[in-house]
Amino acid sequence: MSEDLREKLFDKKENGWKKVNDEEKKKIFEYAKGYMDFLNKAKTEREFVKHARELADKNGFKDIMEFNTLKPGDKVYFVNRNKSMYLAIIGTENIENGLHIIGSHVDSPRLDLKPNPLYEDTEMAYFKTHYYGGIKKYQWTTIPLSIHGTIVKTNGEKIDICIGEDENDPIFTITDLLPHLAQDQMEKKLKNGIDGEDLNLLIGSIPYEEKGKDQVKLNILNILNQKYGITEADLTSTEIELVPAFKARSLGLDESMVAGYGQDDKVCAYTSLSAMMELENVKNTAICILSDKEEIGSMGNTGMESHMFDFFISEILNKLEVNRPNLLDKVFCFSKMLSSDVDAGFDPIYASVSDKTNAGFLGKGISLNKYTGARGKSGASDANAEYVAWVRNVLEKNDISYQVAELGKVDVGGGGTIAYIIANKGADVIDCGVPVLSMHAPYEVTSKFDIYSAYKTYKAFWNE
Ligand code: MN
Ligand code: MN
C-alpha cells in the first residue's frame, strides 16, 4: 500500500543507467566517442570555434554577413574574433515572440603565457605563465602540458601553433620540489603550496654555443625563429595557452564516464552544438551561443558582457526586415534560455561540502540550477518558478532524466555562469548542464549518461 503511494509521490531521482537498454547504451557510448574526439582537437576556445565553424559549414550554415535578407529555415552564424561564436536557425514563429537560446562557454581554466615569457636560469629555459580562471595551482605541476595558440606578427601574418598533442611531439612540464626537500612547502596551506610566480614551464636545456650569456634562451629563440620566423618581441603579440597534453578517455571498467580536460564547459558547448546541427524547421528562432572569457568574468569583446551578441540578434532583425526602435529589447523580454554550463557533481569523498538532497549526481541526467549564488543567494540569477515548470514539462514529455540541484552547501557554494547576463536583458533563464567531478582540474570527470541527456535536453528545448 505505502509502496504504491511512494511510487506515486516521491521524486525518485534514479540512477539513469537502470533504465538504459542495450540499444540505448550503444547510442550513448557512440555519442560519447564523438564528443571525446571533438574534445581532443578542440582544447582551446580558438580551436573549438574553428571546428564548430567547420561543422556548421558542413551542415548548411553560412556566415550571416553573406545574407542580405533572412527567412524561416535559414541557418546562420557569426564568428566573433575567432574566440566566440553565435549560431541561429530562423524559426517560423514571429521573432517578436522570442528566441530559444542555449548558451555555453568554450574557454576553460588553463595557464596563459605572460607577454614577456621567455627567460633562462642556470642554463634552463622557461616560459613564464599567468594562470587563467580558478585553478588549484598544485594540480598543474608535474603533468604533461602542450602549447596551443596564435602568434600575430606586426605585418598581420598569423601563425597557429600546437605542440605536444601529436605522439611524436615533445611535451612540456612545470616542475615541483622533491619530497625530500619539501619540509617547508609541505607545512604551507594547500593554496600557497605552489606560488603563481613559480608556474614556469620548462622548455629547453641545450646552449646555442659554448660561450656567452643566455645561450639556452638563444637556442630556443633560434628554434622558434627557424620554425615560425619570429623574434622575442613577437611573443608579446601572441595568445599562447598551456593545456594538459593528455587525451580524453573513457573512464571506469564499465566505461561509463569520460575523463578529459576542459569539459567545463565544452561538454555543454559540444552537446548543444551537435543538437543544433540536427535541427530542422524550428518554431521559435533557435540560438546557440559559444562564449569566451566566462572563466574570468565574461568581460571584453568576446565575453558575454559585451554587446556583440546584441549586434548578432540585431543583424537578424535587420535582415528579416522587421527591425524598429526597441524591438531588440522586446525580443529578449519574450525569450527563453538554457544557460548550459556544468554543475558540481556530488563527490562522496568530499561529501561535506554538499547538501546531499540538493546536489547534482553523476548518472542522474541533466542538472538544473535554479540559482547559482550562495550565502543568501548572493549575486544569483534565480529562475522564476513558472519558467522552471515550463522547462520541467519539456523534459518530462520527452522522457529526459533530470535533477534540480544547488552548487554546494548554503554558506559554502556558489559559482557564476552567463545566466545573469541574458536574464538582465529580460529573458527567462535557467542554468542547465552536466554534473562534473574535479571541476577546473586538468582532468575532469563526467558521466556518458548525463552527456547524452544534455544533448537530448538541448534538442528538445529547441524543438519546443
Ligand atoms: Mn563553466
Ligand atoms: Mn568554470
**Distance (Å) from CA 253 to ligand 1 centroid:** 28
- CATH 2.30.250.10 residue ranges of the chain are 110-244
From the CA of 134, the nearest ligand is 2
**Distance (Å) from CA 118 to ligand 2 centroid:** 29
**Distance (Å) from CA 105 to ligand 2 centroid:** 9
**Distance (Å) from CA 446 to ligand 2 centroid:** 14
Reduce the DSSP state of residue 242 to 3 states and report it.
strand
From the CA of 418, the nearest ligand is 1
The C-alpha cell 598569423 sits at 158
Pick the CATH number of 110-244 from 2.30.250.10, 1.10.3720.10, 1.25.40.10, 3.30.1780.10: 2.30.250.10
**Distance (Å) from CA 262 to ligand 2 centroid:** 9
The string of DSSP codes covering 318-349 is HHTT---TTHHHHHHHT-EEEE---EEBP-GG
CA distances from 151 to 160, 162, 233, 408 (A): 6, 11, 11, 40
From the CA of 433, the nearest ligand is 1
182: cell is 619539501
**Distance (Å) from CA 35 to ligand 1 centroid:** 17
**Distance (Å) from CA 108 to ligand 2 centroid:** 7
Other beta carbons within 10 Å of 107: 29
**Distance (Å) from CA 269 to ligand 1 centroid:** 10
Q: Tens digit of pLDDT per residue, the chain (464 long)?
A: 899 999 999 998 899 999 999 999 999 999 999 999 999 999 999 999 999 999 999 999 999 999 999 999 999 999 999 999 999 999 999 999 999 999 999 999 999 999 999 999 999 999 999 999 999 999 999 999 999 999 999 999 999 999 999 999 999 999 999 999 999 999 999 999 999 999 999 999 999 999 999 999 999 999 999 999 999 999 999 999 999 999 999 999 999 999 999 999 999 999 999 999 999 999 999 999 999 999 999 999 999 999 999 999 999 999 999 999 999 999 999 999 999 999 999 999 999 999 999 999 999 999 999 998 778 888 889 999 999 999 999 999 999 999 999 989 998 877 789 999 999 999 999 999 999 999 999 999 999 999 999 999 999 999 99
Pick the CATH number of 2-108+261-463 from 3.40.50.1820, 3.40.630.10, 3.90.190.20, 2.60.40.1180: 3.40.630.10
**Distance (Å) from CA 113 to ligand 1 centroid:** 22
The model's pTM = 0.97
DSSP character at residue 433: E
**Strand positions, DSSP E, 268-354:** 286-291, 336-339, 343-344
- CATH 3.40.630.10 residue ranges of the chain are 2-108+261-463
